[in-house]
Amino acid sequence: MSNERPYARAMQRLQGAGLRPTRQRLGLARLLFDRGDRHVTAEQLHGEAMGDSLKVSLATVYNTLNQFTEAGLLREVVVEAGRSYFDTNTSAHHHFFHERDGMLEDIPSDHVVLTRVPEPPPGKKVARVEVIVRLSDAG
Amino acid sequence: MSNERPYARAMQRLQGAGLRPTRQRLGLARLLFDRGDRHVTAEQLHGEAMGDSLKVSLATVYNTLNQFTEAGLLREVVVEAGRSYFDTNTSAHHHFFHERDGMLEDIPSDHVVLTRVPEPPPGKKVARVEVIVRLSDAG
DNA sequence: TCAACCGTTTAGAATAACTAAAAACTAAAC
DNA sequence: GTTTAGTTTTTAGTTATTCTAAACGGTTGA
C-alpha cells in the first residue's frame, strides 16, 4: 500500500518530531525506520546512504542521528570506546554485544529480569537502566 | 606500617602483573590503587600526576592505563561516547552514571539482582553482564 | 511574481580523545 | 661499565564528533 508513497512513513515521523522534512532527513529516516529494528553507526549509515545514491555528508549524518536521538526517534547505545550505535528500537530493552565482530543485538525483553533495582542517591532519579551482555566465542 | 615504603604495594602489583616497575608506572599505580576504589579518565589521572610532581606524558598515561587493563589490574568502563573511565575495582559489580556531571559510582553489589540472565546464542558464551543505571536530577 | 528577510540546514573545517611510530632514555643482566 | 631489552617521550596521525559560516528555503510585503 505504501509502495506508491515510499516516503510517507518517514515523513510522518519527522513531522511528529517537529523536524523539517528535508531530502537528507527523509532519506536517512527511510533507511533507518523502514527496515525493522536496526543498530547502526554513523559510518555505516553514511555508507548506506551513498550506496542508495543519497548525497549526504558524514557530518550531516551525525547531526541527523543526534537530532533524531534528541527527538526520541532513536536511542544511542555506547558499548565500546570510540564507537556509538544508534538503535531504532526506543522502548525499554537490553543488548547483546558480540565482542568478536562488534555487532549489537536486542535481547528479548522478557529474557532479562531485574528483581532489585538500586535506590538512586538523594536528589537523583533513575533515568534509565541499561543491561549489556557481552558475548565471546564459546570455549 | 607501610609509611616507610609508600611504593611497596604498588611495586607488588606491578610485579604480580609482570610489568617493570618504572618511576611512571609506580607513581600512577600509587595514585590509582592507594586511595580506595576509583573511576578515572586518562586526562584526570594525568592532571593528578602533574599535581603530584610526577612527570608523565599523556600518551604514557594512556599506555599505562591500557597495560593495567590488559593485565587485569583495571577495568575499562564505557558509558558515554568519546570518553573512557578506568575502574580500580575489577570484581563483578555495576555502576551509577551521573549524567549531569559525568561522574561514575559503584553500585553495592547486593543492590542489583538479575533474576534471569538471557541465554547466549549458540556458539557464544557470556563474558560479562554489565548494568548501568543512568541518573538525572530528581524532578 | 518577485525580492528581501530570517530562521534552518548543511558540509567543510576544527576539535578532542586516543593511538602509532620513531627516537631518546632507563632498568636490569652480565 | 656495557649491553640489551623494555619504556617513555615526542610528534604525527586517526577517528568520532562538534562548530560555524555559508547556502537554502519558506514567508512576507510590495
Are A80 and A104 part of one and the same domain? no
Q: Using the structure, give the distance in angstroms from the CA atom of B45 to the C1' atom of D22, rounded to a whole number.
A: 41
pLDDT at B1: 45
Cβ–Cβ contact A102 with B under 8 A: no
Are A69 and A105 part of one and the same domain? no
For residue A111, pLDDT over 70 is answered with yes
Q: Do the domain assignments include residue A40? A: yes
pLDDT at A1: 44
Whether A111 and B116 lie within 8 Å, measured CB to CB: yes
Q: Do the domain assignments include residue A120? A: yes
Residue B110 pLDDT class (50, 70, 90 cuts): confident
Q: Do the domain assignments include residue A116? A: yes
pLDDT digits over A36-91, tens only? 899 999 999 999 999 988 999 999 999 999 999 999 999 999 999 989 999 999 99
CB < 8 Å to B130, chain A: 131-134
pLDDT digits over B45-66, tens only? 999 999 999 999 999 999 999 9
Number of domains in chain B: 1
Q: Do the domain assignments include residue A128? A: yes
Cβ–Cβ contact B135 with A under 8 A: yes
Are A51 and A17 part of one and the same domain? yes
pLDDT at A16: 87
- The count of CB pairs under 8 A between chains A and B is 124
Range of the domain at A121: 91-135
Q: Do the domain assignments include residue A51? A: yes
Are A78 and A41 part of one and the same domain? yes
Grid cell digits, residue A113: 529480569
What is the rounded CA–CA span in Å between residue B97 and residue A85? Answer: 19
Q: Which nucleotide is closest to A59, CA to C1'?
A: C11
Which residue on chain A is closest to B100 by alpha carbon? A124
Q: Shortest CA distance to B37 belongs to which of B1, B75, B67? A: B75
For residue B80, pLDDT over 80 is answered with yes
Are A96 and A75 part of one and the same domain? no
Tell me the H-state helices in chain A: 8-16, 23-33, 42-51, 58-70
Q: From A86, A101, A125, give the residue that closes a domain.
A: A86
Whether B112 and A112 lie within 8 Å, measured CB to CB: no
Cβ–Cβ contact A138 with B under 8 A: yes
For residue A2, pLDDT over 80 is answered with no
Q: Do the domain assignments include residue A78? A: yes
Q: Do the domain assignments include residue A1? A: no
Q: Do the domain assignments include residue A115? A: yes
Are A115 and A63 part of one and the same domain? no
User: Given A105, A121, A128, which is nearest B134 (Cβ)?
Assistant: A128
Are A121 and A108 part of one and the same domain? yes
Cα–Cα distances in Å, from B79 out to A34, A103, B35?
29, 17, 23
Domain CATH number, residue B129: 1.10.10.10
pLDDT at A5: 60
CB < 8 Å to B129, chain A: 131-134
